[in-house]
Copies of this chain bind each other. A is one copy, B any other.
Amino acid sequence: MSEPFTPTERTRVVREPQRGVYDRETLYRILDEGLVCHVGFCADGQPFVIPTLYARIGDAVYFHGSAASRMLRELDSGIPACVNVTLVDGLVLARSAFHHSMNYRSVVAFGTARKINDPDQKTEALRVISEHLIRGRWDEVRVPSEKELKATAVLEFTIEEASAKVRTGPPLDDEEDYALPVWAGVLPLTTTPGQPIPDSRLAEKTAVPAYIRHYRNGIK
């Protein structure tokens, strides 16, 4: 068991404090299930929120993009950043409009990001992102060339503080509303893979790999 995160001014869950979670295992599981994180930063007082693919190892979150990306250059200057990953688990239907809710798991992490310059570390971070998204893929594909590596910026964001907010379970109605003749409960929502669409230029007899046929994100 690793240490839980210490709640701070920035991370303590104030609204609905019973939904606040600080233990690293839970936060790691949420981060490891998401596909896209939302990265926030300020430039001249203007907030930017940009979605990006990512992966987590320990308290590090890796993301990448074009070496010319404005966002990655801004972040590499060491400014404060915020990373959010939100998983939607279901719609919660109560008898009153007021008590409707969503079941979700969401991590907010604060820290700073730095560019990885060493080519081997960079390739390793790209492998980690690739394996986070599609486990088993990296070993089958052509790895990045030197030129491709140079065109790619990879950032390591270090989580300094973080918390999660988690809601699960049925609706919680006011006692007098339970008698209302209205359906209540939870409609689960999941991210589901469809039928793989083969590329039109696929070499003949190239089978769909097992990691795609049985794709599930977040299962490590």
Residues of A whose CB lies within 8 Å of any CB of B are: 10, 14-15, 35-36, 38-42, 45-51, 53, 65-66, 68-70, 79-84, 86, 88, 90-91, 93-98, 100, 102, 104, 106, 108, 110, 126-127, 130, 133-134, 137-138, 140-145, 148, 152, 170-171, 173, 177-203, 206-209, 212, 215
Contacts and interface: CB of A to CB of B under 8 A. Distances in A.
A184 B170 contact: no
A56 B86 CA distance: 20
B212 A199 contact: no
A53 to B, nearest CB: 6
Nearest to A126: B97
Nearest to A134: B91
B212 A15 contact: no
Contacts of A212: 93, 183, 187
A141 B84 contact: no
B180 A199 contact: no
B182 A206 contact: yes
A185 B190 contact: no
A185 B196 contact: yes
A162 B209 CA distance: 39
21 contacts: A15-B65, A42-B45, A45-B79, A46-B80, A47-B47, A48-B82, A48-B108, A93-B212, A94-B141, A96-B142, A98-B142, A170-B197, A178-B201, A181-B206, A182-B206, A184-B206, A185-B199, A187-B194, A187-B196, A190-B191, A191-B191
Contacts of A197: 90, 170, 185-188
